[in-house]
Structure 1
Amino acid sequence: MRKRDEEQIQLLHPEGKTAAKILKRRYDAIRKAILQEVDASREIAFIDLTERAPKRLSHFDGKTTWYITAVKLDLEARGELERFEQEGRQWVRRPAE
């Protein structure tokens, strides 16, 4: 399959802003890495997430920090993550059920 024919996903933004479209395979890989890190820590500072999540990717052909930021925002918009402030830093966690 040629790259331009690959399935894409429209990202969402928690503030309703227009977000990018990315390849679904990239979205799935980044989403999995983010959720694994959040689940392992219960709560994680965003800065730590950007350092740890790429280590869970076996191969990734893109700017991981940009993708982690974009997919994290998408997960917030979809209700899979929630953002909060603590100690002057941004943190994320799974929302309480």
Structure 2
Amino acid sequence: MKTAVIQTLHPDPSKTNKKIALVKYEQIKTALLSILANGQLTHTDLMEALYQNVKDTFEGGVQWYGETVKLDLEARKMIERTSDKPQQYRLVQKTT
């Protein structure tokens, strides 16, 4: 049986991102969005929170998958970087 994959996007259109297993993508995406639902975080804090969140259930490199999915979520305008120093990540506010 073939594993479903997703072609992830990159916020820089000149770069191509990775194809990863859809189930891993969904697990990391869900974790990242739920972490950021509690407020914005620096990159270091976000990756640490992600690791703590999935380390017991995730097969593979949490940091690598976290970075790949984070870039994809940025490209899809679901999360964004702030202009703060240090830069932080936050959920994009949906306008209705």
Matched, 1:53 2:59: no
Unaligned stretches of 5+ residues in structure 1: none
Deviation readout 1:13-42 (Å, 9 max, x if unpaired): 0111111000001000000110011001x2
SS of aligned partner of 1:48: helix
The equivalent residue for 2:27 is 29
Which structure has the highest helix share of the two?
1
Aligned match of 2:6: 9
Q: Secondary structure at the match of 2:16?
A: coil
State the number of aligned residues: 92
Which blocks of at least 5 consecutive residues in structure 2 are unaligned? none
State TM-score, norm by structure 2. 0.88
User: 3-state SS of the aligned residue for 1:86?
Assistant: coil
Please list the CA deviations of residues 49-80 of structure 1 after superposition, one character each: whole Å capped at 9, or x if unmatched.
Answer: 11011222241111111111110000000010
Secondary structure (helix, strand or coil) at the match of 2:36 reads helix
Shift of 1:85: 3.4
TM-score under structure 1 normalisation? 0.87
| Runs of 4+ residues over 6 Å off in structure 1 | none
Aligned-residue CA RMSD (Å): 1.2
Structure 1 segment 77-96 matched on structure 2, within 5 A: 77-87=75-85, 89-96=86-93
Q: Percent identity?
A: 36
For 2:4 and 2:51, the matched residues in 1 are separated by 22
